[in-house]
Every structure is written in structure tokens, then in C-alpha cells.
Amino acid sequence: MKPVLTFFFDALKPESLQYMPFLNSFAHKRRMKSEFGHSVTCHPSMYSGVHPDKHLQWFVWKYDPVGTPFKWARVFKYLGLLDNLGSRYFLHKYTRQFREKNTAWFGVPLLVNLPLKYWSYFNVVEDRAWDEVGYLKEYPTVFDVLRGYNVEFEIVGMTKGAGSEFTQIGGHEFTEIRPWTYFFLGSIDSYSHHHRQDGPETIDRMRRLDQLVAAKYEAYSRRVSDFDVFVFSDHGHIPAEKRVDIHKVFRQHGQSLRRFIHLIESNYARFWFRNDKERATVEAILETLGEGFILTDEHFQRYHLEMPDNRYGDLIFYLDVPYLFTKTIWGFSRKQKSMHGYLPDYPDSDGVFLSRRALVEGPHVELVDVLPTLLDSLGLPIPDYVDGRVLWQEKASLYG
């Protein structure tokens, strides 16, 4: 089995490779078409080889009044006066102490700007980390597949709280070479949120990470003579310096957002309706909001987002570039200079795929191609259900 070395960058744009001479030296480069969503959408696609309409993970939160960890919050339907930011922080912490066995990247996050009376409608989608057994309920991840074949792999850099790439990856030594070595570099995303991807702080970080990756590549090459190597990222980054206060928009129409079951994230507003009147009211207000649009069946089809039920919303409003909502479930968007999760059609939404081995023709590859490409390198069969393809050029004939 020829070993494989991969480097993953969270949120690296093709345009940024100019600051990364080592990565830029890879002979074969493609733009990575992202999924229409955030990390919680992208990671399952790249680890499972199927799109969201199969792996069913689109947002961090879903409507799930049965499985919610916040059943205790139902009392706040009658105790509205006690609901403020302070009590939300306190009760969230309290819930985590006895409920949280959640080992996912996001865990059970605080719903900052959501009235407590609505917390008990919602549950997190991820209950464990990407590489843990059974991360996805419907499909095996690449980690599950390799475990099934008893193929060993090593993941470096994905441990939360274990330090930056320079600590985790920089400190890694190749004592024993496993069939697959996976280096995970997560910081470009947060740098880009705070400074934009083209900001000097981020560019400096990219230069240093490029040197780190070059050093690891050299060290690996000294140990292994024949191996496949590829580098990929999940999405790009788009400057977003304008804001929309959706609470204000509702007030301007004589309504209060708090009357509706909703979740507001950086560039999505999702609603669940108790009756047709609620739907009509919300639709009428959102249709006046020219900064975005309500997603239709056509969008769900085009971006592989059709879901079996209303877990992600009876209505999903998408806020377009360069806008962000203020007062979201994550906070107040004050420090966000740049965002992702916009339409994958924007070139700025693209990530990268880089290889030393020739790739199939075409400007784009997809996140779902990562799993079949890796399995093929390891000499393992590609499961029939996989939506992606093997990206090595000599395998192009497989797909006509």
C-alpha cells in the first residue's frame, strides 16, 4: 500500500497561494467547489463522499423538540421576565455540566440571541468529532471506512485546545509511517474572519504555515520514497462589512421577531411556523429584504440540500454578500470582517485542491471527491453510493 500524505486547510482561497511558495509549487491545481453552508456542511461532505442531501448535515442546529438538551427551558415560556443574556449564559453552562457528553467541534454552543422559551425546540446536529466512530448516522466517514479495512491512519492538528498548528504539527515526529497521514490546519479561517483573508496578519500567518508544511513534507520525504500527496481546503472567504438588523426589519413592519420560532446565523434566518398566518407574515416581511432571498426547491435541488423533513426550517432566508446579520445565535458579528457560507457559485467561495500527481480536466473539483481520491490512492474500492469521483487523471476514463 502506497502511503498518502494530506494537508487540510480550513478556508484557503486559490488566490492566497501567491503567498505560499511551497504550496504554489504543486504542479496540479484545481479550484475546490464548496457546499452551500458552513463547516458543518463541508466536513461531512469531504469525509463521506456524499452531498448534504444524503449525509443530512447542513447547520449546527436543527429543529428537534424531542432530542433537545434544553427541555428544562420550557418553563421560560411562562417566565419571560427572567430571560436575559446573563441567565442564558448561566443556564447554558448549567446544562453543559450535567448533559454534555458532546465531543463535536462546536459541542453544544450558547444560543446567544435566542429567547430561552425557544431553546427547547432545538438540538445540535453533531454529537461527536469528525474522526470518531459513527460521526454520521447514515454513511461511514473515511475514518470509519479505513477502520473497517484495518488501515491505520494518523491525524495531527485536529485536537481542540492542544495548541496552534506550530505546536501540534510542528511538534509532530514521524516515528512510524502509517498508510494515511492527515495534517489539519485550522487557523486560516479564524484569521480570515478577524482580519480578512487578504489582511496582512492573515498573509503573514499563511507564509509561516507554508514553511511549516514544507518542513513536514521534507521530513516525510526523507522517510518515504513513493507516496501520494495532496492539499485541500473546504471553502474560501468573502469580505462582509455590511450589517442587517433583522429585529429592526421586523419592527419596521409592526412585528416582533421574538414572536416567531427562529434561528438567526451569520447569513441565514430560519423559521418554523405554528400556522399559515405566521408563515404569511414572515414571508411578506422577508420579501422586502433586498439583501437576500428565500431559498426555494430549485436551490435545494441545485445545491444538493433537499431534506426529508423540516429540521432545518420551514422557511430559510439567505442573506447575500456582503451582508451579515447582527444579533445572531453566535453573538453580535462585531468582529467578523469576512465570512463564508455564501453561494458556492462565487469564485471567492472556492477552496483549493493541490497535487503533485496529474488531475482530471476541468476547473473545479468538489469536496465529495476527497474520499474517493484518498481511497483510490490507498488501493481501496470506492463504494457505489459515493457522489464524488477519483481525481487522478488516469482514472478519468472511469467516469466517461
Nearest to Zn ion of 189, 348 (CB atom): 189
C-alpha distances (whole Å) from 334 to each of 182, 265, 331, 337 are 34, 13, 8, 8
Least CB distance to Zn ion at residue 236 (A): 11
Name the closest residue to Zn ion (Cβ): 189
Nearest-approach distance from CB 228 to Zn ion, in angstroms? 28
Let me know how long the chain is. 400
Binding mask 137-176 for Zn ion (x = CB under 5 A): ----------------------------------------
- Per DSSP, the residues of 98-129 read HH----SSS-S---TTS-GGGGGGEEES--S-
Q: How far is the CB of 75 from Zn ion (least distance, A)?
A: 34
Which residues neighbour 348 within 8 Å (Cβ) at sequence distance 6 or greater?
13, 236, 237, 238, 321, 342
Of residues 189 and 376, the one with the C-beta less far from Zn ion: 189
Compute the least distance from the CB of residue 39 to Zn ion, in Å: 6
Closest CA to 33 of 279, 375, 362: 362
User: Residues touching Zn ion: how many (CB under 5 A)?
Assistant: 1
CA pair distance 207, 293, nearest whole angstrom:
38
The residue among 60 and 263 lying less far from Zn ion, judged by its C-beta, is 60
Using CB under 5 A as the binding rule, whether residue 234 contacts Zn ion is answered as no
Choose between 83 and 189: whose C-beta lies nearer to Zn ion: 189
The runs of H, that is alpha helices, within the chain are: 21-24, 39-48, 52-55, 85-99, 142-148, 165-168, 187-195, 200-223, 246-252, 276-286, 297-302, 370-377
In the numeric block, the cell 434566518 is attached to 269
Mark residues 175-204: x for contact with Zn ion by CB under 5 A, - for none: --------------x---------------
Closest separation in Å from C-beta 193 to Zn ion: 6
Query: Would you say 189 or 265 has its CB closer to Zn ion?
Result: 189
User: What is the residue type of 175?
Assistant: T
Give whichever of 52 and 351 is closer to Zn ion, judged by the CB atom: 351
Given the rule CB under 5 A, which residues bind Zn ion? 189
